[in-house]
Each structure stands twice: as C-alpha cells, then as structure tokens.
Amino acid sequence: MLCFRLSTTLLLAATCSLMSAVVSTEKAITCGSDGNVQRLSCDDGVISVQTALYGRADAVTCSEGRPPAQLANTNCSQAGTVDVVKKRCDGKRECEVNINVFYTSDPCSGTYKYLETTYTCIPAIHLDACEGSLAQLQCDQGQVIFVYVADYGRRDQTTCIYQRPPNQVQNIYCSSPTRKVADSCNGKNSCTIAARNSVFGDPCVGTYKYLEVVHSNDWIGEVGLRRVDDLQVAVLVHCADLLNDQLAGGLAAGRRLLWAFPFPV
C-alpha cells in the first residue's frame, strides 16, 4: 500500500509540474503617453492576468528621451491597476487596454509612468454567445465540461456588434460574473444555456450584451475517487497551490487532477 501511495503521489506531483510548465508567463509593457494602447493575446487558450503595474518601478523602462527628474521615483504604483486589467482581459483570447483609463488619478505627479502586465495563457476554450442566442458547450465522447468562469455583459466594442447601433455597444464596463453556467453544465458531456436577461438579469439596461464562457473538456476516469487519505490530500493541496494563480477555481482545479486517477477501495 505504501508503494501505491508513493507512486500515486509522484504521478500527481508530476502532473502538477507538467501543467505548471506548459503555462508560460508573458509580459507586456506600454509607455504612458496619451492614447497608447496595451494589447494582450494568446495564440492558444485564454488570458489570465497575474500582475499589473501602472506607475514606475525602475529608471530604465520607457526612459528614452525622458529627463532624469521624470524617472527618479521608482516606487510609484496606482492602486487597483490589476483589477482594471483583469476585468478587461481575463478569459479572453485577446484584449486591449487604453492607457487613458488610468488617468483618473496620478499616483506620482511629475513621473513618467508605464503599464506593465504579466499574464499567462490558460489552456481553455473561450465561447461567446450574443444576447438572445444559445450558448452550446459540447465535448467529445468520454469527456465532461468544466466551466472556469462565465460573465454576462459587455467588456469590449468588437464582440456581438453586427447591425447594432453605437449606443448599444459603447458601455464596456458592464460585467456580471455568474455561476449559473457552471451549475448547469459542469460534469455534463454537452450543455445549452440561453444568453438572455431572463436567465442572468440585466446588468446594464440599453446595452447589447453577450455571454462569455471559459471552459475545458476533461476526460472522465474509469474509476471514481473512493477514498482520500492524508498523503493524497497533501498532494491535492499542493496541486491547488501550484494552479491557484494560473487556473480559475483554485482548489477545485487541483481536485480535478485527483479525480482523474483511480484509487483502490
């Protein structure tokens, strides 16, 4: 039994390490001149913002042509920057953040600032369903749906805009995260849910909305989890810690790794 437990632990630890290794960290830096736009993108998967700084942390970044006085303060950061970028970008394949959104306050007057964002590309599926349509989540045979995040509202002016007047797509600060998609779809092979106000409520009256869903299609283990001993729980928590900043769901994401392996009765 000890050998089995040890091999299971090593297998789970290796799986955690493998998943952490394939999720690389990207960095984007945009200088703080008026109108500059930062663009984040993932060739595969979706964006998960890790850190964001609007201010200045060194005297080298975005320093070309700037007098020393504008670079001297290297302890300058605007509070709430990461929340702004996460709200704009998390769960998307690509996104844009205009520097001007941070002009509401000045954390260090006289200092030339920049926006620096680090993010990972999570291996997941991104789905948009325009208001009034149906979101259809479908897996291959032997797989089930796991929803990381779902949001009903509008976060950009490019999604679901066909034949819509400008006033219906202007509000990009309309966000309403919801668990209804996860509650309806998790563990199923396929799932259909309506992108309608009657289902999710209306977070921004007059704005044409859409439902965004980020999910994965996971293989089902042939044998379910029958027993969890202390050693396996420790590995589970370790997995969750490794994935917490990379996959929405934290402990739930780690638990899915554990469920994938059969245990003896």
Of 254, 264, 218, nearest to 233 (Cα)? Answer: 254
Q: Which residues contact 70 (CB under 8 A, 6 or more apart)?
A: 110, 111, 112
98 and 141 share one domain? no
Structural tokens at position 163: 């034949």
Where is the domain boundary, 187, 202, 219? 219
Element (H, E) at 22: helix 2-22
Q: How many domains does the chain have?
A: 2
pTM for this prediction: 0.64
- For 84, residues 6+ apart whose C-beta sits below 8 A from its C-beta are 52, 97, 101, 102
Is 174 contained in some domain? Answer: yes
How is 232-255 classified by DSSP, letter by letter?
A: HHHHHHHHHHHHTTTSTTTHHHHH
Picking from 103, 122, 141, the residue at the C-terminal end of a domain is 122
Answer yes or no: do 148 and 71 share one domain.
Answer: no
Give a yes or no: residue 6 inside a domain.
no
Same domain for 62 and 83?
yes
Domain that holds residue 35: 24-122
Strands (E) in 14-65, as ranges, are 25-31, 37-41, 46-56
Q: What is the pLDDT of residue 10?
A: 36
Q: Are residues 117 and 134 in the same domain?
A: no
Token pair for residue 94?
């690509």
Any domain includes 47: yes
Q: Report yes or no on 242 lying in a domain.
A: no
Give yes or no: residues 117 and 130 share one domain.
Answer: no
134 forms bridges with which residues in the sheet?
194
Q: Where are the beta strands (DSSP E) in the chain?
A: 25-31, 37-41, 46-56, 76-77, 94-98, 114-122, 125-130, 134-138, 143-153, 190-194, 210-219
Show pLDDT as tens, one digit a residue, over the chain (265 residues).
Answer: 433 333 333 333 333 443 444 567 999 999 999 999 999 999 888 999 999 999 999 999 999 999 999 999 999 999 999 999 998 898 888 999 999 999 989 999 999 999 999 999 988 899 999 999 999 999 999 999 999 889 999 989 999 999 999 999 999 989 899 999 999 999 999 999 999 999 999 999 999 999 999 998 888 752 233 223 332 333 333 333 444 444 444 333 333 333 332 222 2
Contact 246, 20 (CB under 8 A): yes
- Whether residues 134 and 114 share a domain: the answer is no
Where a domain ends, among 105, 122, 139? 122
**Which CATH number fits the domain that encloses residue 87?**
2.60.120.740
The verdict on 136 and 96 lying in the same domain is: no
Positive or negative: CA dihedral 50, 53, 57, 63 = positive
Do 111 and 178 fall within a single domain? Answer: no
